[in-house]
Amino acid sequence: MEQHCLTKKACYLMSITMSIASNLSPLLFLTFRDMYDLSYTLLGFLVVINFVTQLSVDLIFAFFTRYFNIHKSVKFTPFIAFIGIIIYAILPRIFPDTAFLWIAVGTVICSVGAGLAEVLLSPVIAAIPSKNPEREMSKLHSMYAWGVVGVVILSTLFLLVFGSTNWMYLALFWSVVPLIAFLLFLKSELPAMNNFGEKQNQTKTFNKGIILCTVCIFFGGAAECTMGQWASGFIENAIGIPKVYGDIIGVAFLAALLGAGRTLYSKYGKKIINILLLGMLGAGICYLTASLSLSPVVGIVACALTGLFTSMLWPGTLIYVEEKFENVGVAVYALMAAGGDMGASVAPQIVGILSDKFGLTNLALKISEMLHISVEQVGMRAGLLAAGFFPIAGVLCVLCMKKHFKKRDENQLM
């Protein structure tokens, strides 16, 4: 049991490492722009690099799981992330003329570690004997949300106290997290896990039920990450709250509710399919409310509550897969991760594109004049309104899942 305790702690730290990989660069965008004269296009490309790298790792594991030694992959995942953060922190300072290159290289390597963690941590936790495995899964994913809260608040305070020119030391501070995880994995004993890579199991990996769950986690990832990435900007530009408060309220508070929802489920949760249905429906209402309401208070509350409603959409789908399929293997988790990452990368981009395009239309100008708000605010609200499609479509997907598995279970009893 002590060995498994170390394994769990290492998994929790790697979940926090994933939050570092996804959230540290956006907090340093203005710093990089001022110090290295980087364009917004290049800065935004760092986010694309992160998601594309993680998605690539997901897909590689989904289709080629049998070629990997899973236990060695798990143990060395945090070391890869650690090396990525070290490169990210040190080499831009040594070679400032090619700073973006080294920031990008560090981002790629760290994102490989984060992508491996996304694929491998869930099957590790699922394979550890437990009275309530679904609650252990929820606890694992709650660590990511609390990690976001910590990264945002501690990084903001660090930059405020020590100045943005010392950002390298902030990155080095965060590199300690994957380093400790690596040392814990070296000392821990990993449970037996099913590779699920044998040829005869491929139909089981890609059957209709798994595909439905992959679509569900796509909508869940889209609903969760779109608000996570756009809340700060939406609160500042569309609602009119100063940036410093937008960052705290829009990112940290939303992430806190994300973590709170997962923590509550880890203690009291049950009937995950109903939680998925409620979460999709609630998230859809929050998107509609935030985008349509002209009240700053209502808008901020709707943004924050999205974190609570989306909290179980990603881990909840994984829990449901474990509930409906025996001996779920790494390939299935990789496919789920790919679906979630696809939603997390595609949906926020769509919001940005629609915000820009709609803001240029005559309709946006008319709405702007009628509501006495800027055209930019109208465009951003339109983009967020369109994002409500993902959780609403998720409601239909969850209903299809419920119908499919009910029919399957009835046929198995006959």
Domain boundaries of the chain, sorted by first residue: 1-132+161-193, 196-414
Give one DSSP letter per residue of 64-126, joined into a string.
HGGGS-HHHHHHHHHHHHHHHHHHHHHHHHH-GGGHHHHHHHHHHHHHHHHHHHHHHHHHHHH
Contact status, residue 13 vs residue 177, Cβ threshold 8 Å: yes
Whole-angstrom Cα distance, residue 374 to residue 381? 11
With b for 16 or more beta-carbon neighbours within 10 A and e for fewer, the 106-119 pattern comes to: bbbbbbbbbbbbbb
Fold adopted by 1-132+161-193: Growth Hormone; Chain: A; (1.20.1250)
Whole-angstrom Cα distance, residue 93 to residue 234? 33
pLDDT at 246: 67
pLDDT at 205: 52
Phi-psi region of 411 (alpha: psi -120 to 50; beta: other; left: phi over 0): alpha
CA distances 386 to 191, 219, 317, Å, are 43, 13, 23
Check for a shared fold between 1-132+161-193 and 196-414: yes
**Which of these, 177, 174, 182, lies nearest to 73 by C-alpha position?**
182
**Which of these, 284, 281, 283, 301, lies nearest to 239 by C-alpha position?**
301
Contact status, residue 222 vs residue 306, Cβ threshold 8 Å: no
CA distances 40 to 26, 46, 229, 280, Å, are 11, 10, 15, 33
**Which of these, 377, 394, 395, 393, lies nearest to 291 by C-alpha position?**
377
pLDDT at 344: 86
CB-CB neighbours of 94 under 10 Å: 10
With b for 16 or more beta-carbon neighbours within 10 A and e for fewer, the 339-359 pattern comes to: bbbbbbbbbbebbbebbeebb
Whole-angstrom Cα distance, residue 356 to residue 380? 8
| Residues contacting residue 343 through CB under 8 Å, at least 6 positions apart | 217, 218, 219, 220, 221, 222, 223, 225, 390
pLDDT at 364: 84
196-414 placed in CATH 1.20.1250.20: yes
Whole-angstrom Cα distance, residue 201 to residue 179? 35
pLDDT in tens, the chain (414 residues): 455 788 999 999 999 999 999 888 888 877 888 899 887 677 778 877 888 898 898 888 877 777 888 888 899 999 999 999 999 999 999 999 999 999 999 999 999 999 999 889 988 888 888 777 778 888 898 899 899 889 988 988 898 889 889 999 999 999 999 999 999 999 988 887 765 444 444 445 558 889 999 999 999 999 998 888 788 777 777 777 776 676 676 677 888 999 999 999 988 878 899 999 999 999 999 999 999 988 888 888 899 899 999 999 999 999 999 888 877 778 888 889 889 988 988 888 888 888 888 888 889 889 888 888 888 888 889 989 999 999 999 999 999 999 999 888 777 766
Return the C-alpha torsion angle 324, 329, 330, 331, nearest 10: -80
Q: What is the pTM of this model?
A: 0.82
